[in-house]
Structure 1
Amino acid sequence: MSTFNLGLLGYPIKASFSPQLHRAALNDSGLQGDYQLYPIPPDDPEALAEMLARVRKRELRGLNVTIPHKQAVIPLLDKLSETANAIGAVNTISMKNRQLFGDNTDAQGFLNDLVHLSEKTSSVRKALILGAGGSARAVTYALLSEGWEVIIAARRPDQAQALKNYFSSNIEQLSALKLDIHGLADLSSTLIVNTTPVGMLSHLQGSPWPEDLPLPGGTALYDLIYTPAKTQLMADAEVAGLPIRGGIGMLIEQAALSFRIWTGKKPSTQKMLQAYLDAIQHTRQ
């Protein structure tokens, strides 16, 4: 029987729940193996290259990639999927046809979980994305590829413009992408997506939404943050009567997609969710 030794590249990654998710997936699929964390500092390119060499040698069957390596690994790979190339970031590495292959499951993972809010949004598919960093890239690509009109609202106009400039040569639906660099001027969206770290336990408390600006009615909120399970923005949106969803579902969906790339098996997302909930409960004890 094949052994599927897998792992996550990032720095730092002490608070990651990926091992619990993928160990549950391995167990559910009846596969032998393990999932380990590999903290590689951004100023150590040799260590990064050595980890990818382990995948080439099949010592590791696959790797996830998180901050700060999602873009740094690209020059070290042989081939990218269409999605990873369009987003400009890789979160899943595997061997295919003797080539080191980079993929990105964040975009599809987001779309897979967004269906839980889709029935609560109107038929007018217009999204307001808060933030213009790496997560915003994946969400923007996902929504544009599904025919949504997307507005980027970012505190740093240069970062928002850089995102649009990047997509100008990588995606056909650029006409559906607009920038709001003057402070949330367009509030006619049917979906608000927070891709910023504001509200995350380990980063910044509070909300990325302006205090003096009411949340618009008739919208739904998706917050990519999953710790805490309910951010301040989500709580405020709930009080305003908006349907809400946190990022736990996307975390699990993208992990399940990565697992399928490595193993060919479709794991139970319900069992992966339970593994996550058990891990959260353990950290609280």
Structure 2
Amino acid sequence: MTDTLVFALTGWPLGHSLSPVLHQAALAALGLKGEYRLMPVPPADSTALAALLQQVRNGQLQGLNVTIPHKQAVLPLLDELSPTARAIGAVNTLWMREGRLVGENTDAPGFLADLYARLGDHLADKARERCAWLLGAGGSARAVAFALASEGWRVVIAARRLEQAEALALSLGYWLKAEQFIPLSLAALPEGGVPHPQLIINATPLGMTPQVETSPWPEGLAFPSGACVYDLVYNPPETRLVREARRAGLEAVTGLGMLVEQAALALEKWTGLPVPREAMFRAVERDRKNPE
């Protein structure tokens, strides 16, 4: 390991990313000298993306996180995928191991760890088939669908673009109990012949800063009774979806814990050290109280 560690995040756009705050806090807590940079690459700029990955190969970067829209675009540029990343078909964490550029997906285990930590008591009834409605069918949805399916959940994928939902269901058909996909609409959710959910997950960007008044939940549709809501969006601290779900009496949380957990798991891959999650949460709290 070099004296000064350099890690980075690539994606587009990156203006509201909390990743530098999280990783700098973790590095400081571990007593490591290093920095975490934002390195945006526009969509479809394959040359810039390949050049950035070359920085991992030649040691300029000791680790790279990948977010929207590059989680699948980087796959052909890698030497090796973890079993989880291969199953999901998307990566978010890259590093060199024994001379090979490796891709991992820490979104799936990060989601499960936070889901059960925060909502586990409300999801403990395993006597009946557990069903989740997954809103969205992008890269993050792929990780969530795989994570839930690996835990025995039935996953119903609802997306505004039905063909995208269908493609995701078919690609994960080996793990999913049922290849069920429906339009994300007022009519389809209650009338699509889908089972009552114990869990609703938002894996779309709707509700994210600065579009804080948007929501993936169809206008005028009542929330299913007794369901829990998990919104992957973490900025703002309380999204419209979470606020309205709580108002309807549902347990609802944002995705900040998943963000912390997936970041910690990535840093553990890069450093080989256990990462203190609490230091990362405290850093986010300080950042939100003292915005630049």
For normalisation by structure 1, the TM-score amounts to 0.94
Which residue number in structure 1 is paired with residue 72 of structure 2? 71
Which residue number in structure 2 is paired with residue 180 of structure 1? 182
Which residue number in structure 2 is paired with residue 16 of structure 1? 17
Which residue number in structure 2 is paired with residue 126 of structure 1? 131
Distance in structure 2 (CA, Å) of the matches to 1:187 and 1:213: 16
CA contact (8 A) 2:231 2:254 kept: yes
CA contact (8 A) 1:148 1:176 kept: no
Which residue number in structure 2 is paired with residue 151 of structure 1? 156
Please, which of 222, 238, 251 is the counterpart of residue 230 of structure 2?
222
Quote how far apart the aligned CAs of 1:241 are. 1.1
Letter in 2 for 1:59: Q
Letter in 2 for 1:135: S
CA contact (8 A) 1:49 1:76 kept: yes
> 3-state SS of the aligned residue for 1:258?
helix
Distance in structure 2 (CA, Å) of the matches to 1:215 and 1:47: 43
Quote how far apart the aligned CAs of 1:69 are. 1.3
| Distance of aligned partners of 1:166 and 1:203 in 2 relative to their CA distance in 1, 3 Å threshold | farther
Which residue number in structure 2 is paired with residue 113 of structure 1? 114
Once the two structures are superposed, the pairs formed by residues 193-232 of structure 1 within 5 Å of their partners are 193-203=201-211, 205-232=213-240
| Distance of aligned partners of 1:232 and 1:187 in 2 relative to their CA distance in 1, 3 Å threshold | farther
Structure 1 unaligned regions, length at least 5: none
Quote how far apart the aligned CAs of 1:261 are. 0.4
Distance in structure 1 (CA, Å) of the matches to 2:214 and 2:56: 40
CA contact (8 A) 1:149 1:177 kept: no
Quote how far apart the aligned CAs of 1:204 are. 5.9
| Distance of aligned partners of 1:100 and 1:158 in 2 relative to their CA distance in 1, 3 Å threshold | same
CA contact (8 A) 1:197 1:204 kept: no
Quote how far apart the aligned CAs of 1:144 are. 0.2
Q: Deviations over 1:166-209 (max 9, x none)?
A: 223xxx32334422336213361101111112211234623222
Shifted more, 244-253 versus 65-74: the winner is: 65-74
Distance in structure 2 (CA, Å) of the matches to 1:145 and 1:18: 27
Which residue number in structure 1 is paired with residue 261 of structure 2? 253
Distance in structure 1 (CA, Å) of the matches to 2:215 and 2:69: 24
Please, which of 152, 165, 169 is the counterpart of residue 164 of structure 1?
169
**What number of residue pairs does the alignment pair up?**
281
**2:197 counterpart of 1:189:** yes
CA contact (8 A) 2:131 2:155 kept: yes
CA contact (8 A) 2:72 2:139 kept: no
Distance in structure 2 (CA, Å) of the matches to 1:12 and 1:196: 15
Q: Which runs of 4+ in 1 moved over 3 A?
A: none
Quote how far apart the aligned CAs of 1:142 are. 0.4
Distance in structure 2 (CA, Å) of the matches to 1:208 and 1:42: 23
Which residue number in structure 2 is paired with residue 271 of structure 1? 279
> 3-state SS of the aligned residue for 1:36?
strand
Quote how far apart the aligned CAs of 1:248 are. 0.4
Quote how far apart the aligned CAs of 1:281 are. 2.1
Quote how far apart the aligned CAs of 1:231 are. 1.1
Letter in 1 for 2:133: L
CA contact (8 A) 1:144 1:176 kept: no
CA contact (8 A) 1:120 1:220 kept: yes
> 3-state SS of the aligned residue for 1:120?
helix
Please, which of 225, 243, 252 is the counterpart of residue 251 of structure 2?
243
Shifted more, 177-186 versus 51-60: the winner is: 177-186
CA RMSD, Structure 1 to Structure 2 (Å): 1.6
Quote how far apart the aligned CAs of 1:66 are. 0.9
Distance in structure 2 (CA, Å) of the matches to 1:232 and 1:13: 22
> 3-state SS of the aligned residue for 1:25?
helix
Taking only the aligned residue pairs, the percentage that are identical comes to: 49
